[in-house]
Amino acid sequence: MKPFVAADGSAHSVSDACNVQEATTRKNLHATLRVLAGRDLRSLYDDPVPLDMVKITDWHPDTCDCVLQYIWRKDHDEQVRQHHPHRALNTCHHHQKQEDPAGKHAAVLAENQNKNALVQRAAESLGVELHEIEWSFDNQRRLHLSHPAHGIIDQARLKPN
């Protein structure tokens, strides 16, 4: 790995293939450092992480208005890649009570995956396309599923035994 010295004088490692003389590359490295905001990646990864391999993406779940940022590594295969919660750019009113960032990410992710799984099972059991399943949350944050032709879908019948 090679060193990359940021504008504030801090030194970071980049992979050998990274051309730190290139303006766009430098811009991207600075952007990554800005978003990391001093976070130490050694808490996430055992080995030193080349800065050019760090990716940070925003997730806008379709189940609420939270916007969550995740850190992941470009050099990790998609099958084993882990998305580490970084911070919340926006917190919806449903998840405001979750102050712990990891807990918030877990709650939003679980809600979203549960909705996706139930929509999938509903579509399979009715033999319709995924997009035909209508879903919504009530004010108790309970999920409701329906289909224009089949009406309200009984979720108890969708759950695996």
Which residues would be at the binding site for Zn ion (CB under 5 A)?
A: 64, 66, 92, 94-95
Least distance between Zn ion and beta carbon 108 (Å): 5
Nearer to Zn ion, 31 or 89 (CB): 89
Least distance between Zn ion and beta carbon 97 (Å): 11
Least distance between Zn ion and beta carbon 103 (Å): 12
Nearer to Zn ion, 12 or 104 (CB): 104
Least distance between Zn ion and beta carbon 64 (Å): 3
Nearer to Zn ion, 10 or 114 (CB): 114
Nearest residue to 84 (alpha-carbon basis) of 114, 48, 59 = 59
Nearer to Zn ion, 66 or 133 (CB): 66
